[in-house]
Amino acid sequence: MTSMRPPFPRPIEARDFDAIIASDKEMYPTDNPLTAQIMAKWFTHYPEFGMIYDGFGCCIIVPVTKSTWEAYIKQEIDESQLANGIFDGTSTIDSKIGLHLYHIEKSQAWTRQFDRMANIVLADIRTILYNINQRRATQLILKPLDVIGFSALAASDAGFNMAKKVFRMVPLYDAQEILYHNIKTQELAIFTTKNQPKSSNEWQIQGEVRLMALKGSSACRNLLFV
Ligand SMILES: CC(C)(COP(=O)(O)OP(=O)(O)OC[C@H]1O[C@@H](n2cnc3c(N)ncnc32)[C@H](O)[C@@H]1OP(=O)(O)O)[C@@H](O)C(=O)NCCC(=O)NCCS
């Protein structure tokens, strides 16, 4: 049986920002959450990387320069600081691009009659890169894109499994943050491995937060085939 897919995603718009930020915060309640202003900078040049599957889910990818991607995976900057190094392929001859997956989530409408979301998202990223390369090919000065890295901060078991099994990412570090939920209030909170809650009657481990990535052009080559 051939698996179906939901309709192709549309590019993100400003009206989408608040709900995505709120949804990400529910999963990863960081002290340094994103703002709509920062998200707007992420998608100045390529809003198609903010993949909105209306009614079915979303996959939000931040396209950045090589140096910014490398600073992020070395943990020198956080997700909100990616905005300072957004890839602008229209005004540069630099073709090196890093992709960071900020958020992915499917709704109940994405049932088992569809292929799993991770497979569809990979196919759609290839299409987006292909379309950008088609546009670049019309300007002789621009070389085809060279994807030098693909990363994700996995904050759930589902996210970790997807990143490992489908995206083939590897964890870059031991988990430094642990997600706990409060047994009474259901509140989700981030603790560091060095500073974990004292009472196991109050807090229960939900999962580990892991920075994962595919590093280097050859590891990412598969993203460029359509
Ligand atoms: C992360 C997420 C988008 C991945 O979705 P997905 O790629 O469709 O995969 P699922 O998580 O539903 O897959 C769970 C299992 O069901 C299987 N599955 C899913 N859809 C299937 C299908 N249509 N046919 C057969 N198997 C399927 C997967 O292969 C996987 O099996 P495995 O554990 O043996 O590999 C989804 O789990 C989600 O929205 N989670 C909540 C938000 C979240 O955690 N986001 C990540 C934060 S970092």
Q: Which CATH number do you get for residue 83?
A: 3.40.630
Give the pLDDT confidence score for residue 150 in this predicted structure.
98
DSSP secondary structure letters along 39-105 = HHHHTSS-GGGEEEETTTEEEEEEEEEHHHHHHHHTTSS-GGGGGGGB--TTS-S--EEEEEEEEEE
Cα distances (Å, whole numbers) of residue 171 to 27, 103, 215? 19, 17, 11
**6 C-alpha to center of ligand 1: Å?**
15
**Residue 211 beta carbon below 6 angstroms from any ligand 1 atom:** no
Has this prediction a pTM greater than 0.75? yes
According to DSSP, the β-strands at 203-215 and 170-171 are antiparallel
**45 C-alpha to center of ligand 1: Å?**
30
Tens digit of each residue's pLDDT (9 = 90 or more) over 34-77: 999 999 999 999 999 999 999 999 999 999 999 999 999 999 99
Tens digit of each residue's pLDDT (9 = 90 or more) over 125-151: 999 999 999 999 998 889 999 999 999
**Residue 159 beta carbon below 6 angstroms from any ligand 1 atom:** yes
Residue 215: inside a domain? yes
**115 C-alpha to center of ligand 1: Å?**
10
**198 C-alpha to center of ligand 1: Å?**
33
Residue 182: inside a domain? no
Residue 16: inside a domain? yes
Contact indicator for 109, 125 with CB cutoff of 8 Å:
no
Q: Which atom of ligand 1 is nearest to the CA of 121?
A: 7
**132 C-alpha to center of ligand 1: Å?**
28
Q: Which two tokens stand for residue 15?
A: 């009206």
- Whole domain around residue 220: which residue ranges? 10-175+209-224
Residue 202: inside a domain? no
Q: Which atom of ligand 1 is nearest to the CA of 106?
A: 39
**Residue 158 beta carbon below 6 angstroms from any ligand 1 atom:** yes
Q: Which atom of ligand 1 is nearest to the CA of 57?
A: 39
Report the share of the chain in percent with pLDDT over 70. Answer: 99
**176 C-alpha to center of ligand 1: Å?**
24
Residue 93: inside a domain? yes
**Residue 118 beta carbon below 6 angstroms from any ligand 1 atom:** yes
Residue 187: inside a domain? no
Q: Whose CA is nearest to atom 19 of ligand 1?
A: 116
Residue 47: inside a domain? yes
SS3 76: coil
Domain count, the chain: 1
Give the pLDDT confidence score for residue 19 in this predicted structure.
96
Residue 193: inside a domain? no
